Structure formats: structure tokens, C-alpha cells
Chains A and B, each alone.
Chain A
Amino acid sequence: MMRHIPEDELHAYLDQALSRSQCVEIESHLARCPACQAERDAIAALRDRTTGLLALLAPGPRHPPAWATLEARATAARARTRRRLWYGGWAASVAAAVATGWLARDFAPEAAGNAVAGEPAAAVAPATVLADPPTVVPTNDSALPPSPAPRPATRLAAAEPRVPAIPDSADPEDGPVAAGMSLRSADGVLSDFPLAGVWRSVSWDRLQRDSSDWVPRVDGLPVKEIRVSQRTSGGLSVVSQQLASGQTIRTVAGPASDVRSLISNRTGHSASAQLQVDPSLASRDDGERLLVILGDIPADSLRALLLRVK
């Protein structure tokens, strides 16, 4: 019994999406199979009709502006962004100075008390942290994150010096911190992916500049958000990326035990989410590291994405 050519293969054949050897195989079958010839003609007609109908949904010929015009716009936009960043940085410095002054006034007796107790640095550390630029650099045209509200933020900073933390939204104890440190990205991409511990966001620009700060992710997909754990020395990271279909996939990478506990702890994620663990990737790094891609897409698609992780 001769195997007929499946419908999708005929589409791919007509779309010239097959290799030469596959084409030869299909053509030799077509030459002796009237049923498949008829099917091919029907699919060709369907394909042409589809193209014809879609052609009706065209906005009419447009006249694109000259490339030079577009380049001039890009240059102007870059200059605006630089100015905004400069002003933003200046505003942050002013806020830091004001906050320092306020704290100096507010904490002076407390600091004196601490000095007696042998902890003189308590009032100094917060100012250093505040003066530090936020780790999150806006990737598009949005302005810098608002200046931190002085008191809760600095109290956190004193507790966790030098850590511009992204608090875990699922942890109610971190509530006041969230109010103080407005470093969370606007769309809260990871809001359904609770992260325990102290995390920081890394901007895409920064990541590209700093090759030592490498975070595994799927090559060629727009990055929505990157978070790196502050506490794991082995570099535990979660990267959210968007597929053209609008779905978000997440690449979790790091020491195997951390990745496993992160995956097992996650809650509120759709039950249909599929988890693919690629043993070859795990073993590639001494078996101590693990890389997982999560997303509500078919398993074979997840596997295909796994091959594109850089």
C-alpha cells in the first residue's frame, strides 16, 4: 500500500519549505499517484485563494519616508534619551542629598546611641546605598524609576547594605519595601512567578555591555525581564522572554538544587505549564547546573527553544 503525502507536507512543498531531497521524494510520488496530484491541486487552489483574500486586507500602497529621515529621527531620539537620563540622574542625586539630610536629622540620636553600643556605621550606610544609581535602567523611553521614599527604603538598605533589592511580591513581609523601592518593572512580568530571597533586575542594555554578567536565555527572542539572585554565588537567573504569539517563556538557570527548589516552590502558575528538563544541558556543566524552560506551549516547541539557549 503506497503511502500518500500528508496534507501538511504538500503545503510545505508548495511553500518551498522542504529540502531538495524531500522535494524529489514528493515529486516522484506525485508522478505516479493521481490521488495525491488531485490533493496537491486542491491545496494549491486553497493556498491561492487564501493569498487572494488576504490581499484584500491591504492598506494600499504607502510611501515610506526616506531612510535618511528615519536615521535623523533615531539620532534625535537618542539625544532626548541621553538628556532625560542626565536629568534623571541629577534628580536622583538631589533626592539622595535631601534624604541624607533628613536621615542625619532623624537618626542622629539613634546613631549616637548605636555608637555607644558599638555600631557607629548604621546611619552612614543608607546614604551610600541611596546615592548608588538604581540597578534597573529603563530599556525604552520611560524615565528613571521614581526616587525612593526615604525612610522605609533606607531601613531596608541598612539591613541589606549594597543590595538594591527587588522584593518578592508574594512575601507579605516585604510590603513596605515594595513601596519604598520602586524598582519593579512596570508590567510585573514575573508577578506570577514568586521568587524567594533577594533578587535584582538586570537591564538588557547592561547585560549586553557587561559580558561577565552572562545570563542564559533563548537567542533571538525579545527579553521582557531578567532577574538574578543576589544570594546564590553560582548565578541563579530567571529570564522572561516573549514569543511572537504573546506568550511568555521563562528560562531558569543556575545550580541544580536552587533551580529545582525554585521550580518546586513556584505557585500560581498555570497547571498546564510544561516543564522540560534537558539532561544534556545539565550534564554539560558538571551535572551541577540545571537549565529549565517554562511556558504554556507544546513540549516539542519548548525543546526546540532549549536548543536555542545561549
Chain B
Amino acid sequence: MNDELERLYQTTYQAVVRFLYRKVWDADRAEDLAQEVFLRAMSHRPEKPRAWVFAVAANLARDEARAAVRRKKHLTLLTNDPGTHPAPVRSVEETMEHDEQVSRVQDALALLTPRDREILLLWDAGLSYPEIAAQTGLAVGAVGTTLARARRRLIEAYDRRETERMDDAAHS
């Protein structure tokens, strides 16, 4: 059992951190929570550990978001965390462009409904349709429909932001 968990840890850890990061927007916190998830998995020994790990990660992220609201730090969720991205050598312009792009994706993601966002992030974390269905309570057949809508809306929202930015730049 622990061997299986250890294998899961080796193969899934980065995906769990990424999944959590996209919810809490703090890389260190995401990593703390990911480790907490695996610690819990060790004591619970779930039957389907991969799906279980993401279900618990989603719960922890939700608790974290609530705590953040209580601490009135929710504004930090919307700002860019400069310490959390890989820092290849970029010019100032490139860095600004990259940060703006990141911020646009964050905004676009925030515009999705919670369910569409959850399913998109679970898919991107590597879960299969049946695993997503099991976790969200959706019928398997509805996962494709939801993903189709979520992808379309994400791109639409992102492109809309892009157009607004171009308009702003043209007017300034």
C-alpha cells in the first residue's frame, strides 16, 4: 500500500502542487498543502489513492480560500506572486509581457463558474473522465460537455482581455 502511495507521490506530486497553486496562488503554500495531502493519504490508505489525493487537495484549497477571506488577504489571490514563477532570464519588456499574460489567464479562469473551473483544473491535473465524474458527482457523459464549455469560455475570456488591453494601449 505504501509502495503504491510512494509511486503516486513520485508521479503526481508536481501535478498536485500545480493543481493547488491554481487555487491558492502561492507556490510555497501549495507545496505545504500537497505534502499535507500525502500525509493524510498515509494514514487513511484510500482505495483509489489518485482520485482521493485530488479530492482532498480540492478540499484543503477550499478551506485555505475561506481562511484567506477571513484574514482579509483575498486581494493577494488576484495579484501576481512574483516569487512563484520560474525565472528564466528575460528582458524587462518580456517579463512585463509574461506577467500580464499570466494575469490575463488568472482573470479568465476566475470568470468561469466554479464547476467549470474545477473540472478544467482536474482534467489538466491528469484525471480521467471517470475520475473527474467520481469526484464531482457529474455523470461521466457530462464531463465532455462541461470541459468543452470550460475550454471555450476560458479562451473567450482570455481573448476578450487581450482585446481590451490592445484598446487601452491604442487609447493611451
Contacts and interface: CB of A to CB of B under 8 A. Distances in A.
Interface in A34-68: 43, 46-47, 49-51, 53-54, 56-62, 64-65, 67
Interface of B: 2, 6, 9-10, 13-14, 17-18, 21-22, 27, 30-31, 34-35, 38-39, 42-43, 47-48, 51-52, 54-56, 58-59, 62, 84-87, 98, 101-102, 105-106, 108-109, 114-115, 118, 120-124, 128-129, 133-140, 142-145, 147-148, 151-152, 154-155, 158
Contacts of B137: 243-245, 247, 249, 295, 297, 301-302, 304-305
Contacts of B56: 222
22 contacts: A15-B123, A17-B143, A17-B144, A47-B151, A50-B124, A53-B154, A57-B18, A58-B18, A62-B27, A64-B10, A64-B14, A64-B35, A65-B35, A70-B9, A70-B38, A73-B35, A243-B136, A245-B114, A246-B58, A303-B139, A304-B139, A305-B137
A154 to B, nearest CB: 35
Interface string A148-165: 000000000000000000
* Interface bin, chain A: 35 or more
Contacts of A222: 55-56, 59
Nearest 7 Cβ contacts at the A-B interface? A59-B27, A12-B144, A60-B86, A8-B144, A17-B129, A244-B135, A8-B145
A57 B87 CA distance: 13
B30 A8 contact: no
Given A49-B155, A295-B137, 5 more contacts: A50-B155, A53-B155, A60-B87, A70-B42, A298-B138
A59 B139 contact: no
A62 B17 contact: yes
A57 B39 contact: no
A77 interface: yes
A57 B21 contact: yes
A74 B139 contact: no
B84 A59 contact: yes
Contacts of B155: 46, 49-50, 53
A221 B151 CA distance: 26
A50 B120 contact: yes
Contacts, number: 159
A210 interface: no
A46 B120 CA distance: 13
A295 B138 CA distance: 12
A9 interface: yes
B13 A15 contact: no
A47 B121 CA distance: 13
**Residue among A43, A59, A61, A297 facing the most chain B CB atoms (10 A cut-off):** A59
A300 B138 CA distance: 8
Nearest to B56: A222
A50 B34 CA distance: 24
Nearest to B51: A220
A50 B154 contact: yes
Contacts of B129: 12, 15, 17
A11 B9 contact: no
Nearest to B129: A17
A7 interface: yes
Contacts of A246: 58-59, 62, 114
A15 B146 CA distance: 13
Contacts of B123: 15
A11 B144 contact: yes
A60 B85 contact: yes
Contacts of B140: 304
Contacts of B86: 58, 60-61
A206 interface: no
Residue of A8, A9, A298 most packed against chain B (CB within 10 A) = A8
A298 B138 CA distance: 8
B47 A242 contact: no
